[in-house]
Amino acid sequence: MEATYKTQAIVLQREPWNGNDSRVFIYTPDLGKLNLVARGTQKISSKLAAHLEPFNLCEIMIVKGRQYDYVGSCVSRASYRRIKSYYETAVTAAAVAKVVHALTREHAPDSRIFFILKKLLDILDAETIDEDGLRLITAAFSLKFISLLGYQPNFESLTVGSQKITPKLAHFMRMVLGMAFAEILALPIEQSVTRNFCQTVGNYQRYLFD
């Protein structure tokens, strides 16, 4: 008899695989990133497919197979319909999920990554956020995520990767690391600071991983 286990999961990506099936990449708090086979989810009649859409927060049962692990059952606990209803928020969520998928290894759990991803999806789904705000919290997520991976910048040196930064920007970046996304959005930030912050985080991510 195959072993089974249950966990919470956020769906990062789903893609067609082997005819009527899908490969589903999920991130879980206790098992890290997993690559699972979801049987029959390419069929129009599949009831499982709707629960395994990208960005869904799920309760999932995983079946341990000989060659692949499978989705035994899945029930979505949050489908984040508001995110998916607006192009800008859907693009933001997709970009964040892509980064998490690209930069995490399978079976290397870090519950902090799961929970900051969930918190970002929660706020994207709960609030109407303008374009500048979306850029700001995307960069804030990237900085928090990079730091959790072990690459937090040394702000004392006023250098982020190969880029020199001002004391003002170093203070802002340090502050962002300790704040919730809702608190960051509520800050009275000069547009130039937001622009420099987003550019610096983007440059740092490319410096580390490209």
What proportion of the chain, given as a percentage, has pLDDT over 70? 99
pLDDT at 127 over 90: no
Residue 164: Cβ within 10 Å count: 11
Pair type for strands 57-64 and 69-78: antiparallel
pLDDT for 22 equals 96
pLDDT for 1 equals 35
pLDDT for 66 equals 85
Type of residue numbered 43? K
Domain boundaries, the chain: 4-78, 91-209
- From CA 161, how far away is CA 188, in angstroms rounded? 27
Stated as kind and residue range, the H or E segment containing 173 is helix 167-177
User: Dihedral through CA 34, CA 11, CA 48, CA 77, nearest 10?
Assistant: 120
Find the distance separating the first CA and the last CA of the chain, reported in whole Å: 43
Across the chain, mean pLDDT equals 95
Query: Per-residue pLDDT averaged across 94-117, rounded?
Result: 96
Closest CA relative to residue 38, chosen from 62, 59, 66: 62
Per-residue pLDDT tens digits for 154-185:
999 999 999 999 999 999 999 999 999 999 99
pLDDT for 70 equals 94
Question: Can you give the pTM of this predicted structure?
Answer: 0.94
Q: Determine the Cα angle at 34 with ends 3 and 118, to 5°.
A: 115
- From CA 50, how far away is CA 41, in angstroms rounded? 9
CATH topology of domain 4-78: OB fold (Dihydrolipoamide Acetyltransferase, E2P) (2.40.50)
pLDDT for 2 equals 52
In angstroms, how far apart are the furthest CA atoms of the chain? 60
pLDDT for 60 equals 97
Query: Per-residue pLDDT averaged across 107-132, rounded?
Result: 96
Closest CA relative to residue 205, chosen from 131, 145, 121: 145
Query: Per-residue pLDDT averaged across 136-144, rounded?
Result: 97
Query: Which regions of 79-203 does DSSP assign to beta strands (E)?
Result: 159-160, 163-164
- From CA 160, how far away is CA 169, in angstroms rounded? 10
Name the one residue in this structure whose structure tokens are 């622009």. Answer: 195
pLDDT for 158 equals 95
What is the Rg, in whole angstroms, of the alpha carbon atoms belonging to the chain?
A: 19
Per-residue pLDDT tens digits for 16-71:
998 899 999 999 999 999 999 999 999 989 999 999 999 999 999 999 988 899 99
